[in-house]
């Protein structure tokens, strides 16, 4: 039976898929990976005869995604949404798809131990690294890590699975692979290396030494806005292509990938598909995390509180647009080390991307997991300003917006569904404090987010408290308008 996706009105994989070799095992077959790394690798196969293919793996959750993918011979659709037109491509570079709980952990480890595997890549979100965002260190008392260390041959965490696969490769005399994080964290390769090494040392010193000598952990900076898939998204993709694809995703036309060229066992020529291979990714990562992700979080909390459901709704409010741009250029840009980039042009491009009416990127979605995001998106910049005696009013407002949001009640008195791995800790701080200054103090006391020093910085406490009290008294819209007026 012919696969229905091969009849879609879209750019189709016209290369010989039987020649693809699954040299990359990817952990975390989410929407972002499908729309980003999957597309780059598909372009290489379609336009440059690359034979690099993927084995896609979900370890926890996402059973349906893997089932849907298998159902369609591992094909899926990516639709690019601009204000005036949508275009689609069917991606064909997936050779194999597995779910640890459906197909069994042995099948996953077996795939990672195939001799040709050169890269294990990950999009598991910040919380998947089981590390403390404030320090970057592996939390050995994290329930999943503690469980894996009790039984390292049957791991459940991504870190545990990678180390067990490497242990088996070492025992079988197979070469090591590179481990490439594609998650939104500063120095994501270093974070990956830190957590893998800390875990490996806790398992076996000799194995840890072998990993240190043989495995590389390239850092990456990834950028493409990929809203969570809704039934409406899938309806639109079907209207566009004439085929229903439950594994389909939609995203903006823009895409960027900066990769540290440090691979133990070779890599695809992603630069031919538009990626930038560099010696040092960190300056690019910082630029994106602070200017894009930092302003995104700012808009997510303050936009949600004001009743704006989507980022483009925030852009329809001149004060939010002004504040977001000022945050990027006046408070984030000065903290950056990147050179040779026109940051004003970058900021203008971000505002343009945020304004794309087709994207409908929900503020609630971006607001998730704030405890994991605030340190690198806002707090590192705050520390820079404190050290340089410069102004950080908008960053303080962003932090206050997060505090108001995690209080769990919006300005209309409706419950907010707060989604965060530290939710019990956050809720305890909220419940045990009175609304107002006491609430700010209680939340600043969460060391995993704010570390040890910031909660004792008088200027930081004062600015966040002022912003928080303004949000309580006047609401988010009026407060953002007041702060934006100071920027003119």
Give, to the nearest 10 degrees, the angle between helix 205-214 and helix 188-203.
Answer: 150
Read off the DSSP letter of residue 415.
Answer: B
Alpha carbons 22 and 35: distance in angstroms, whole number: 19
Alpha-carbon separation of residue 399 from 300, 393, 480 (angstroms): 11, 10, 13
Q: Per-residue pLDDT averaged across 136-159, rounded?
A: 96
In this structure, the number of other CB atoms found within 10 A of the CB of residue 116 comes to: 12
> How many CB atoms within 10 Å of residue 155?
26
Is the alpha carbon torsion for 27, 30, 35, 36 positive or negative?
negative
Dist. CA 106–CA 121, nearest whole Å: 19
Tell me how far the alpha carbon of residue 48 is from its chain's centroid: 28
Look at residue 383 in the predicted model and tell me its pLDDT. 98
CA distances 422 to 124, 158, 349, 405, 437, Å, are 17, 19, 33, 14, 21
Q: List, in order, residues 6 or more apart from 353 with CB less than 8 Å away.
A: 225, 252, 254
Q: Can you tell me the distance from the alpha carbon of 239 to that of 235, in angstroms, rounded to the nearest whole number?
A: 6
- Kindly tell me if the per-residue pLDDT of 84 is higher than 90: no
- As a whole number, the mean pLDDT across the chain is 96
Q: How far apart are CA 419 and CA 406, in angstroms?
A: 9
Transcribe 225-251 into DSSP letters: --PPP-HHHHHHHHHHHSS--TT-EEE
Tell me the C-alpha distance between 157 and 144, whole Å. Answer: 6
Q: Per-residue pLDDT for 411 more than 70?
A: yes
> What letter would DSSP give residue 45?
H
The whole-number pLDDT of residue 2 equals: 58
What was the pLDDT predicted at 242? Answer: 96
Alpha-carbon gap, residue 185 to 200, rounded angstroms: 21
Dist. CA 23–CA 40, nearest whole Å: 15
Q: What is the pLDDT of residues 164-190, one digit of tens each?
A: 999 999 999 999 999 999 999 889 999
**Which pLDDT band, with edges at 50, 70 and 90, does 3 fall under?**
confident
Mean pLDDT of 198-224: 98
Q: What is the pLDDT of residues 445-488, one digit of tens each?
A: 999 999 999 999 999 999 999 999 999 999 999 999 999 999 87
Roughly how many angstroms between the first and final C-alpha of the chain, as a whole number? 63
pTM of the model: 0.94
Secondary structure percentages of the chain, helix, strand, coil, to 5: 50, 15, 35
Span 89-114, average pLDDT: 98
* pLDDT of 89 higher than 90: yes
Residues 17-56 have pLDDT tens digits of 999 999 999 999 999 999 999 999 999 999 999 999 999 9
Kindly provide the residue ranges of all beta strands, DSSP E only, lying in 6-106, ordered along the sequence: 21-27, 52-58, 76-81, 86-91, 94-99
Please write the tens of the pLDDT for every residue from 124-147. Answer: 999 999 999 888 899 999 999 999
Residue 75 backbone zone (phi > 0: left; psi -120 to 50: alpha; other: beta): beta
Of 247, 222, 205, the C-alpha closest to 8 is: 247
DSSP state of 287: H
Q: How confident is the model at residue 151 (pLDDT cuts 50, 70, 90)?
A: very high
Position with higher pLDDT, 85 vs 280: 280
Residue 21: φ, ψ to 5°: -115, 125
Nearest to 191 by CA among 146, 140, 120, 132: 132
Q: What mean pLDDT do residues 404-431 have?
A: 97
Q: How confident is the model at residue 1 (pLDDT cuts 50, 70, 90)?
A: very low
Q: Which whole-number Å values give the CA distances from 344 to 72, 216, 325, 347, in the listed order?
A: 44, 35, 9, 5
Residues sharing a CB contact under 8 Å with residue 458, sequence separation 6 or more, in sequence order: none
Q: What pLDDT, on a 0 to 100 scale, did the predictor assign at position 256?
A: 97
Q: Residue 47's pLDDT is what?
A: 98
Three-state secondary structure call for residue 209: helix
pLDDT digits (tens, 9 = 90+) for 264-295: 999 999 999 999 999 999 999 999 999 999 99
Query: Could you tell me the domains of the chain?
Result: 4-278 (3.40.50.720), 282-485 (1.10.1040.10)
């Amino acid at each position: 039976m012919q696969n229905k996706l091969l009849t879609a009105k879209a750019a189709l994989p016209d290369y010989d898929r039987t020649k693809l070799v699954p040299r990359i095992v990817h952990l975390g077959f989410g929407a972002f990976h499908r729309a980003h790394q999957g597309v780059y690798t598909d372009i290489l196969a379609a336009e440059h005869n690359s034979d690099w293919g993927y084995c896609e793996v979900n370890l926890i959750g996402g059973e349906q995604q893997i089932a849907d993918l298998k159902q369609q011979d591992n094909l899926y659709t990516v639709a690019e949404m601009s204000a005036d037109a949508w275009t689609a491509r069917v991606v064909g570079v997936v050779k194999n798809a597995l779910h640890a709980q459906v197909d069994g952990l042995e099948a996953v480890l077996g795939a990672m131990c195939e001799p040709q595997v050169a890269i294990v890549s990950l999009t598991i979100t910040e919380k998947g690294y089981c590390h403390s965002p404030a320090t970057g260190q592996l939390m050995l008392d994290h329930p999943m890590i503690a469980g894996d260390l009790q039984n390292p041959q049957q791991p459940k965490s991504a870190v545990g699975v990678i180390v067990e696969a490497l242990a088996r490769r070492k025992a079988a005399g197979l070469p090591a692979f590179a481990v490439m994080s594609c998650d939104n964290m500063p120095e994501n390769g270093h974070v990956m290396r830190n957590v893998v090494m800390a875990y490996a040392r806790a398992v076996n010193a000799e194995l840890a030494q072998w990993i240190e000598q043989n495995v590389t952990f390239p850092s990456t900076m990834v950028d493409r806005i990929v809203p969570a898939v809704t039934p409406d998204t899938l309806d639109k993709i079907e209207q566009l292509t004439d085929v229903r694809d439950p594994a389909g995703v939609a995203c903006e036309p823009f895409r960027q990938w900066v990769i540290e060229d440090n691979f133990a066992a070779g890599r695809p020529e992603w630069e031919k598909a538009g990626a930038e291979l560099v010696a040092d990714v960190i300056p690019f990562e910082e630029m994106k995390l602070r200017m894009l992700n930092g302003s995104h979080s700012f808009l997510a909390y303050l936009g949600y509180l004001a009743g704006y459901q989507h980022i483009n709704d925030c852009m329809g409010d001149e004060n939010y647009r002004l504040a977001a741009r000022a945050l990027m250029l006046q408070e984030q840009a000065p903290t950056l080390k990147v050179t040779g980039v026109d940051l004003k042009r970058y900021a203008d491009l971000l505002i343009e991307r945020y304004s794309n009416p087709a994207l409908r990127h929900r503020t609630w979605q971006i607001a998730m997991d704030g405890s994991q995001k605030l340190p690198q998106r806002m707090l590192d910049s705050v520390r820079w300003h404190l050290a340089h005696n410069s102004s950080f009013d908008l960053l303080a407002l962003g932090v206050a917006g997060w505090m108001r949001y995690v209080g769990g009640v919006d300005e209309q008195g409706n419950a907010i569904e707060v989604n965060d791995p530290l939710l019990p800790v956050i809720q305890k701080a909220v419940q045990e404090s009175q609304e107002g200054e006491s609430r700010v103090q209680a939340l600043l006391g969460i060391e995993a987010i704010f570390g040890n020093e910031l909660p004792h910085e008088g200027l930081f406490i004062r600015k966040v408290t002022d912003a928080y009290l303004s949000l309580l008294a006047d609401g988010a819209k009026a407060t953002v308008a007041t702060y934006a007026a100071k920027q003119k």
